[in-house]
């Protein structure tokens, strides 16, 4: 029996017995039964590196943390971020793209997404400080999902040390910010860090310093790699689909022409990027930004005639639905029109998960990608230097050679 012929099958990952749930019914079951039959589960490496973050808490504590965190990345908060996103994108392009004939997209987008997170989450603007944090963050990422062998020289050991360095940097910034807030010197800052420092839960309890530090690190992690991957893959597909590129360009130039000279993008402009977002959505179907995530059975239960014992790890993957012609006709074809009208059927296109554990930064990802796309497309056209470059998952999708491209400025950039 082929694995996908069954609605659930057993395998082994990270030394654990894992039941893999397949298809939209499996997605719906797991997303709908959080805190009832299942809880979130991460490999031991994640638990050790971000102990007090939302990734590692369950039940009422998870609800408490998520409620506090959500208000910093909800739609109202995002509206105030758009102009700053635009400024960072413009500066990134001036320093990393303009005047160059070739760009390696993945590492360059990596720098952009990390800088943007530093600026929006903690108002860290100093390039030297950002570069120092980026160095530690790169080492940290390599060991987040890895065998937790804490011996000098191992990937996890290096990640742990870099994680400690990152936490210390975040802690110092948080203490400086708290002191400034106490003196009424920082009331104008509207970033994630200030929000976490002053927002209490329903009982009036503030987050501890360690909770703030671990959750800041978690949000850097979840908002960074998936967005970098998505941006890179959008660039790849626009190079491969010139007719799609031209339609995106037309939409973005119309928006650019509606702006006064020097006027920054606003939330209303993001809402006009309808075709561009359909293109991004199709890219996320073709190459989902995550391979999947884990849950853990907290009771014995039955699914599709199979008994799942308490303690088993459970896994869902967007890849079990995104290439299935039963849900996406001509599934191998790139077709942004799939997202017109009502779009795909529920639970078939879930690049950021669903239910109570849906990716916290989902709303943040959309403007982040679209602002970047607006600034790149209206300035450049490009070609792939390695046309058939593979995009393996390790654990997130990234081109084997970083997606090198040849860029050509438009004759008259908007």
Nearest 5°: CA angle at 370, between 367 and 372?
A: 105
Query: Tokens in use for 303?
Result: 């699914």
Question: How is 110-128 classified by DSSP, letter by letter?
Answer: HHHHHHHHHHHHH----HH
The residues that bridge with 18 in the sheet, in sequence order, are 11, 313
Neighbouring C-beta atoms of residue 36, cutoff 10 Å:
10
Using CA atoms, how far residue 88 sits from 37, 139, 297, 384, in Å, is 43, 24, 43, 25
Burial, 344: exposed, middle or buried (Cβ in 10 Å; 0-12, 13-18, 19+)? Answer: middle
Contacts of 67 (CB under 8 A, 6+ apart): 201
Using CA atoms, how far residue 248 sits from 227, 231, 243, 272, 274, in Å, is 19, 14, 9, 12, 9
3-state secondary structure of 331: coil
Q: Quick one: which H or E segment has residue 305? A: none
Q: Find out whether 69 and 360 touch, Cβ atoms under 8 Å.
A: yes
Q: Find out whether 46 and 52 touch, Cβ atoms under 8 Å.
A: no
Instruction: Please give the Cα distance from 414 to 402 (Å, whole number).
Output: 28
3-state secondary structure of 9: strand
Of 345, 293, 296, 355, the closest CA to residue 321 belongs to 345
3-state secondary structure of 315: strand
Helices (H), 145-191: 155-182
For 175, list phi and psi in degrees, rounded to 5: -65, -40
Instruction: Please give the Cα distance from 195 to 199 (Å, whole number).
Output: 6
Q: Is 233 annotated as a binding residue?
A: no
List the binding residues for heme: 359
Binding residue ranges: 359
């Amino acid at each position: 029996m082929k694995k996908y012929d069954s609605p659930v099958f057993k395998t082994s990952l990270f030394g654990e017995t894992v039941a893999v749930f397949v298809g939209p019914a499996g997605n719906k079951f797991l997303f709908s039964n959080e805190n009832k039959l299942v809880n979130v589960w991460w490999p031991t490496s994640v638990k050790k590196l971000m102990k007090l973050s939302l990734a590692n808490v369950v039940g009422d504590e998870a609800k408490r943390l998520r409620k506090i965190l959500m208000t910093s990345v909800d739609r109202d908060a995002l509206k105030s971020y758009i102009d700053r996103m635009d400024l960072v994108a413009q500066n990134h392009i001036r320093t990393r793209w303009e005047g160059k004939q070739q760009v390696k997209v993945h590492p360059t987008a990596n720098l952009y997404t990390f800088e943007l997170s530093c600026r929006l989450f903690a108002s860290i603007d100093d390039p030297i400080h950002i570069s120092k944090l980026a160095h530690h963050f790169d080492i940290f990422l390599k060991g987040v999902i890895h065998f937790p062998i804490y011996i000098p020289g191992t990937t996890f050991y290096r990640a742990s040390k870099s994680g400690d360095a990152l936490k210390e940097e975040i802690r110092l910034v948080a203490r400086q910010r708290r002191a400034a807030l106490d003196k009424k010197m920082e009331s104008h800052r509207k970033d994630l860090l200030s929000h976490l420092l002053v927002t209490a839960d329903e009982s009036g309890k503030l987050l501890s310093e360690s909770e703030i530090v671990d959750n800041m690190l978690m949000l850097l992690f979840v908002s960074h790699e998936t967005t970098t991957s998505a941006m890179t893959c959008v660039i790849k597909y626009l190079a491969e689909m010139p007719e799609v590129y031209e339609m995106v360009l037309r939409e973005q130039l119309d928006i650019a022409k509606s702006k006064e000279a020097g006027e920054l993008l606003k939330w209303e402009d993001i809402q006009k990027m309808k075709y561009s977002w359909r293109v991004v959505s199709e890219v996320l179907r073709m190459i989902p930004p995550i391979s999947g995530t884990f849950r853990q059975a907290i009771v014995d239960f039955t699914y599709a005639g199979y008994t799942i014992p308490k303690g088993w790890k459970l896994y869902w993957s967007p890849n079990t639905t995104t290439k299935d012609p039963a849900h996406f006709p001509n599934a191998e074809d790139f077709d942004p029109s799939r997202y017109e009208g009502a779009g795909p059927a529920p639970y078939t296109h879930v690049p950021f998960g669903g239910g109570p554990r849906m990716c916290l930064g989902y709303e943040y990802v959309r403007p982040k990608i679209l602002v970047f796309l607006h600034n790149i497309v209206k300035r450049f056209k490009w070609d792939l230097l390695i046309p058939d470059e593979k995009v393996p998952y390790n654990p997130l999708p990234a081109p084997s050679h970083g997606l090198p491209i040849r860029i050509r400025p438009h004759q008259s950039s908007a």
